[in-house]
Amino acid sequence: MNLGLALVAAPGVLRRGIEMRSLDAILRRLAMVCVGMSIATSAAVAADLSAIPARKLNQVVEETEDNDAWAPEDRVRLLGMLGWDSRSSVREQVATSLASKPVAWSPQLEALLTQLCDDPVAKVRAAAKDAFLHELLTMDGFDRSRLVVDWATSTDPRQRLMMAQVLAVPIVAVGIDGALAQLATDDEPIIRQAALASTLALNYARARRR
């Protein structure tokens, strides 16, 4: 379903916990923002979202997490739109929601997590890191190994940095040592430092299991 249409129809499937009249108006406004996203800049989207109280947007995010009536693809599109909000509390809620209830990996989710992992606010970055780690851990072995290699060798430094950081956690995947070796020679000093820290943490964890 088109996300704009899904948002307009959403009040019928949302729980009674949110005041329905107020929520209906918010979802219709979000639908209008969604329709304009294809031609609007990220700054324009953020300006439109800022007119909606953060508390209400956070309630919508919680409902999409708790209510299975939301199709996963609609949920990711909505969270992707809210990821442009200028308020860090909303962006953090988006990242936290993805960590609490992971969805199937997709180009839309990859773009959203790439954006959030480079957020200027540390709390948002930390929540995005948790969400990305949850995604890795819930994938099957083949997809996990492929994603490790893809992000470790990505042309996007945001993805390489995220991978260098999350590999500090013991993950069962083919290619982890090679990915860390690759990241340890990265052109970006911050990525090399993260890869070194993760290598040390991983080696320590392996030594303790022996």
pTM: predicted TM-score of the whole model, two decimal places: 0.78
pLDDT at position 74 is 84
CA 161 – CA 182 distance, rounded (Å): 12
pLDDT at position 23 is 58
Cβ(73)–Cβ(65) under 8 Å? no
CA 57 → CA 96, 99, 130, 192, distances in Å? 14, 18, 21, 37
CA 69 → CA 10, 56, 66, 128, distances in Å? 9, 19, 9, 24
CA 81 – CA 63 distance, rounded (Å): 16
Instruction: Provide CATH code, domain 140-210.
Output: 1.25.10
Q: Which residues of 87-106 are buried (b: 16+ CB within 10 A; e: fewer)?
A: beebbbbbbbbbbeebbebe
Please give the chain's pLDDT, 210 residues, in tens: 445 444 444 444 444 444 444 656 666 666 666 655 554 556 666 777 787 888 888 888 888 887 777 788 888 888 988 998 999 999 999 999 998 888 888 999 999 999 999 999 999 999 999 999 999 988 888 999 999 999 999 999 999 999 999 998 888 788 899 999 999 999 999 999 999 999 999 888 878 877
pLDDT at position 39 is 44
pLDDT at position 20 is 43
